[in-house]
Amino acid sequence: MTRTIMHIDMNAFFAAVEQQSNPALRGRPVAVVGAQQRTIILTSSYEARAYGVKTGMTLYEARQKCPQLQLVKANNRLYTHVSSQIMLIFQDYTPLVEVSSVDEAFLDVSGSLHYFGSVERIAYLIKSRIKSRLGLTCSVGIAPNKLLAKLASDLHKPDGLTLIQSAEVPDLLEDLPIEEICGIGPKTTQKLNHLGVFSCGQLGRFSVTKLKKQFGVIGERLILMGRGIDPSPVMTSEQEAAVKTIGHSMTLRKDICLREDIARFLSQLAEMVGRRARRHGVSGQTVTLTIRHNDFSTYSRQQIQAAPISRSEEIYHAALRILDGLLLTLPIRLLGVRLSNLHHFCQQIPLLPEERRREQLTASLDRVNDRHGEFTVMPGSLLSVKGKGSHVISPAWRPEGIRNIGVQ
DNA sequence: TCTGGGGTCCTAGGACCC
DNA sequence: TCTGGGGTCCTAGGACCC
């Protein structure tokens, strides 16, 4: 059966939200940056993009490109709040909503087409509601599957609406560069180019055997990608697999060397991880310590615990044991603590339909929050203890207000 | 005062067991 | 006077995404 999948991608989301909440920023080159000292460009407005400012750039680089760039520190509470309002709008058009990130979602509208007349009508309604209620634009892609819907939403930005019909897929893909496909990154592109594959058309016709030899399991998927085939369903938060790892890491304001400094940060990271694990109702048996040195060399070491743990002190001590087994020679720039091998230790089964719906919403918002690291760490500078000069990591940031949003 | 943070999935190699 | 082979688990790292 032919499906109708919609991918909705908010345009320059963080920057657009900032411009919306502060009119002085409208029409100007704006970049949203992390709250930490050592940060990068998280998102930039279209005005800033015109100067070449891009996600991932250092502040220095961005300022070189655009000296009058307005830098705004990320206001995660605001973005999550706006995001949740957008996700609620989607629910009015289909229950099959997959929240894939804070500013993106897939909708399977196959079953609701007849209520609204056409898929274009649904797209129009969604776009105009987001625009009038929140003042934001989005790009909508419509196609028979997620892969193509995602591709479609990328074709026209900002404020785009792109429909890909099954019949036009071969023509569209024939000359499309492979790197346009979600899932084919720089390394894979490079390897494929080396094999003489540059377009999706070429990829779709390439020898499966050769691709499997070079890429393993991915090889088969690559062929399908080249042909625009993707049977994966739109997964609601209910259907989605349980979280598999919970971790926090942070680039420190200054590089550190002393064990007591390292230990202090580890205890804070362990607390953040533990708190989140307990909130999820899970404990984990594997603890991983990640270290990045000032030369950017990065490595991780893990240890299996005798039994699953979720208490912060236990996670902390596990991380410390790993640390004490290492020979450190360089200053440390980043520390990370991760809990995996997770087991559920309690189950809640909401019974009432209302409760159930609320649970579902909470779960998707949790994902919105949890998937984005920049939402979880507050600036150490804001919380540092006066006089002591210590860097203090905040508790995992959580939008308290979110749970109070009416579900109507 | 150059380079974030949250994840998922896959793989290669080694340990270990039968 | 020789050196199997399958399976599973674990570890560390890499590719990729937002």
pLDDT along chain A (408 residues), means of 10: 96 97 97 93 97 95 96 94 96 97 97 97 98 98 98 97 98 98 96 97 96 92 97 94 95 96 97 94 97 96 96 97 95 98 72 58 55 37 27 25 22
Q: Residue for token digits 């991983």?
A: A288
In three-state secondary structure terms, A32 is strand
b/e sequence A214-234, b meaning 16+ C-beta within 10 Å: ebeeebeebbebbbbebeeeb
Per-residue flag: A286 CB under 7 A of strand C: yes
Distant-in-sequence, close-in-space partners of A114: CB < 8 Å, separation ≥ 6: none
Angle at alpha carbon of residue A211, lines to A205 and A214, rounded to 5°: 155
- Distance in Å, residue A43 CA to nucleotide B16 C1': 49
User: Could you confirm whether domain A237-385 is CATH 3.40.190.10?
Assistant: no
Per-residue flag: A52 CB under 7 A of strand B: no
CA distances from A75 to A35, A397, A399 (A): 9, 11, 11
Closest CA to A284 of A250, A242, A251, A326: A242
Fold of A1-164: Alpha-Beta Plaits (3.30.70)
Instruction: Give pLDDT, residue A399.
Output: 25
Thinking of the domain A170-226, which architecture would CATH place it in?
Answer: Orthogonal Bundle (1.10)
**Residue spans per domain, chain A:** 1-164, 170-226, 237-385
Instruction: Give pLDDT, residue A37.
Output: 87
Per the annotation, the verdict on A104 as an active-site residue is yes
Annotated catalytic residue, options A18, A98, A104, A374: A104
Angle at alpha carbon of residue A407, lines to A371 and A354, rounded to 5°: 100
As a whole number of angstroms, the distance between CA A272 and CA A249 comes to 10
Same fold: A170-226 with A237-385:
no
pLDDT (tens digit per residue) in A123-162:
999 999 999 999 999 999 999 999 999 999 999 999 999 9
Instruction: Give pLDDT, residue A227.
Output: 98
For residue A366 the two structure tokens come to 């949790």
Per-residue flag: A230 CB under 7 A of strand B: no
- Distance in Å, residue A343 CA to nucleotide B4 C1': 29
In three-state secondary structure terms, A314 is helix
Instruction: Give pLDDT, residue A36.
Output: 87
Whole-model pTM: value is: 0.87
